[in-house]
Amino acid sequence: MDARLRPSAMASILALLVCLVCLGLYSFPRHPLLLPDLSEQGGYDYFYFFATTRALEAGLQEVYLSEEMARFSLELSENRWEVRGNHPPAFYLFYRPLARMDFQTGYLIHMWLGLGLYAVGVLLLCRMLLPDPRLAWTVTALLAAGGVVLGPAVDNLWLGQVGHHLTFALCMVFVLGASGRPAGAGFFLALAVLLKLYPALLALYYLRRGNWQVVAWMGGTLTFLGLAAGFVWGFDHYAHFLEWSTRTGYRSVLSNQSLMGLLAWLFGEQSSPGLKVLNLLLLVGASVGLWRAGSLWGGSSRPRQLLEFSTWLLASTLLAPLSWAHHHLVLLLPLVAFTALAGHSQENRAFGLTGMALICLTWLLEGEVVTRDWVRALHYQVCLWRVGLVMLGVLLATCLVGMARLSGQDHPQAEG
C-alpha cells in the first residue's frame, strides 16, 4: 500500500477503539445504568460485602461457615439472598461506611465510585505511556467509555463487583512504581491483594526488578490493616477465614475461565486437594519462567515495564482458583502497553495493533448479563469451550513476544 494512503498510528488506534465501544453499546440494549430499578434488581456480589460487614459490626462470632451468618443474611435481604463471608476481615474495613447506609444507596455509591476511580486509573496510565497528549486523552475517553459498556464492565456494574476498583488500584501500582514512588505502589498493591488475592504474584515482579521497597510497603500495609481489623472485630475471624479457605475447592462452573476451574471440571471438584498441590507447582513454575523472561527481555522503557508487569498479572489471573469475566477488566494494563507500542514506531505498529485487537476481542466475547439473545448464546459458547482461558494464555504469550521484540531493537524510542 502507498505510504500516503496508509492510516497513521493514531488513526488506526482510535478506529479500533471506536469499533470496540460501538460494538459494546450494541451488545447491551438494556444496560444496567439505564434501568430505573437497578438497585432493586442488581448488586448480588455487593450484598456479600454489605451483609458480612453488617454481621461483623453486629458482633457475629463466625461469618464464614456458620448457619448464623446464613440466617442473618436471609433476614437482612428479606429472604432474597443467603451469603457468607468470602474475603479476609481487613477487606471489610473498606465497607464500614457503606454498611451504615441502606443496601440500595450503598450499592449505587459503590458502583459510581468504582467507575470514577477506573477513569482516573485509565487517565494516569495513558498519560504515562502515551507521550502524545491528544492520543492520551482520546484513548482515555474511549477506554473509560469501554469501562461502562463492555461485557466484563457490565458484569461488574450489575453484580456490584470490584473490577473497576481493582483495575484502578493496579494502574496506581504501576504508575507509582514506575515513577519511583515505592510507598504509594506498595500501598495500592496491598489494596489490590485485599480486593482479589491473586495480584500478590506481582510482588515477584518488583523483587525481580530489585525494587524490594514496594514489597515491603505492601507487607507493612497489609499488616497494619490486618491488625486494625483484628482490634475492631476480633482476631478469631482470621482463624475462621483460614478454615474457610482450606475448605474451599475449585469451582468447575463454566463461567470460571481459570486453568484450575477447567481441571476441576475435567476431574471433579472432589479432586481439590490434588489440584491445590498442582496449582502451587504451576505458580512456582510460572514464576521461575517469568523471572527468567524478565531477566532476558525486561527493560527500562515504560512499555517494556508494563509488558513485563502484564505477564505477571496475566499469569496470576490464569492460575487463580477463580477467573470470572468481571475479573478481566485488568486487561486494560496490557491494552495500554500494546497501544503504546503501536503509537511509538512504524516498526511496532502492526504488532501493537494485533495485541490491542486480541484484548478487544476478549472483552467482546466475555460477559454474563443483560445482553441481546444472540450475544448471550455466544457468551455461553465462549464459556463452554473455555475461550476466555485460551485468550488469557494467548495474551500472556503476546506480551512475552513484545518484550523480546523490544529487547532486540536499538531505536531510541524502545528505551526512551
pLDDT tens, residue order, the chain (416 aa) = 445 556 789 999 999 999 999 999 998 888 889 888 898 989 999 999 999 999 999 999 999 999 999 999 999 999 999 999 999 999 999 999 999 999 999 999 999 999 999 999 999 999 999 999 999 999 999 999 999 999 999 999 999 999 999 999 999 999 999 999 999 999 999 999 999 999 999 999 999 999 999 999 999 999 999 999 999 999 999 999 999 998 888 888 999 999 999 999 999 888 888 999 999 999 999 999 999 999 999 999 999 999 999 999 999 999 999 999 999 999 999 999 999 999 988 899 999 999 999 999 999 999 888 678 888 889 899 999 999 999 999 999 999 999 999 998 854 443 43
Say whether both 234 and 317 belong to one domain. Answer: no
pLDDT at 416: 38
Is 4 a domain residue? no
pLDDT at 413: 42
Say whether both 390 and 307 belong to one domain. Answer: yes
Say whether both 110 and 226 belong to one domain. Answer: yes
Is 11 a domain residue? no
Say whether both 148 and 69 belong to one domain. Answer: yes
Choose the final residue of a domain: 223, 247, 271: 247
Say whether both 268 and 349 belong to one domain. Answer: yes
Is 23 a domain residue? no
The three cell numbers of residue 4 are 500516503
Is 9 a domain residue? no
Q: How far, in Å, CA of 317 to CA of 322, rounded? A: 8
The three cell numbers of residue 336 are 495500554
Say whether both 195 and 111 belong to one domain. Answer: yes
CA distances from 140 to 18, 124, 147 (A): 12, 9, 10
Is 320 a domain residue? yes
Give the DSSP letter of residue 269: G
Say whether both 47 and 74 belong to one domain. Answer: yes
Is this prediction's pTM over 0.75?
yes
- Residue 80: helix, strand or coil by DSSP? coil
The three cell numbers of residue 16 are 479500533
Choose the final residue of a domain: 247, 275, 300: 247
pLDDT at 412: 44
Say whether both 160 and 273 belong to one domain. Answer: no
pLDDT at 264: 93
Full domain range(s) for residue 176 = 30-247
Helix (H) or strand (E) holding 146: helix 133-149
pLDDT at 373: 85
Say whether both 239 and 91 belong to one domain. Answer: yes
Q: For 37, list phi and psi in degrees, rounded to 5.
A: -110, 35
Instruction: Look at the alpha carbons of 325, 326, 331, 332 in this order and tell me if their dihedral is positive or negative.
Output: positive
Is 24 a domain residue? no
pLDDT at 343: 92
Query: How many domains would you assign to the chain?
Result: 2
Is 135 a domain residue? yes
Choose the final residue of a domain: 213, 247, 281: 247
Is 6 a domain residue? no
pLDDT at 5: 52
Residue 73 sits at the vertex; the CA angle it makes with 68 and 75, to the nearest 5 degrees, is 95
pLDDT at 410: 54
pLDDT at 414: 39
Confirm if 338 and 359 have CB atoms less than 8 A apart.
yes
